[in-house]
Amino acid sequence: MFFLKYASRSEVVNCVSNNVKSRIPTLKNTRTVYNYIDIDFIENKANEKISDDSSFLDSSKKHLVAIGRFVHEKNFAFLLEAYNLYIQNNPNTMLHFLGDGELRNSLEELTTKLDLNAHVNFLGFIDNPYKYIKNADLVCMTSHFEGLPTVVIESAVLGTPVIATKCGASELLELFGFPNEIEFDAKAYASEITNALAAKFKPVDRKLFEENFSFDNFLNSMK
């Protein structure tokens, strides 16, 4: 209510995505302005070598990555449940969590309960996630809600596909040619892991990033 009261008095309200804009239909003075993404910085950081985690260097396995704080909104317990279904027929995989937070202990306990310790790797907070994204086979999102999930953009920059639940990522998934959002159903999510790892995704044209997420585009959109 507080936001709507003062936003309605503003000349224009900038939304970080079309999804956010659609959630405030009562406001008519809205527009979408995507955040600026530093593509060169991401690419340069991604070129750093992974030397601090031997399990990620095992080329005989497929590597899945999940990034974010261990909080309810990220829904990582759901990811573990789905991943548990997936590995029943696909044991040569590893799921790597990049992040930390208040739910870490409960997620580790669930990992043990599901007998996934040999397949799940808790890396903690990582200062440079880009090198992991670049070398991963798939990035997994299971959030309840996202404004503008920049990890989808960063993954597309680095040529790594993303799958996501119905969290507000649809416009980015469509833009980059990634699979559609998935229902909050563990079996459906596990199936999409299989499909995504088997699929061939076309590299995203750099021009697409420049048209949507460059600093010039950000400034022009703010005029």
pLDDT in tens, 114-141: 999 999 999 999 999 999 999 999 999 9
Question: Which of the residue ranges 7-11, 174-178, 219-223 has the most confident prediction, judged by mean pLDDT?
Answer: 174-178
Tokens standing for residue 176: 């980059």
Tell me the pLDDT band of 72, cut-offs 50, 70 and 90: very high
HSE-up of residue 120 (Cα within 13 Å, Cβ side):
26
Mean pLDDT of 174-196: 97
pLDDT exceeds 50 at position 145? yes
| Nearest alpha carbon to residue 61 among 103, 93, 89 | 93
User: Residues 31-41: pLDDT tens digits?
Assistant: 666 677 899 99
- Quick check: 4 pLDDT over 90? no
Q: pLDDT at residue 75 above 80?
A: yes
pLDDT of residue 30: 64
Of 101, 39, 113, 17, the C-alpha closest to 67 is 101
pTM: 0.87
| One-letter identity of residue 52 | D
- pLDDT, tens digit (0-9, with 9 covering 90-100), for 18-71: 665 556 655 566 666 667 789 999 999 999 998 778 888 888 999 999 999 999
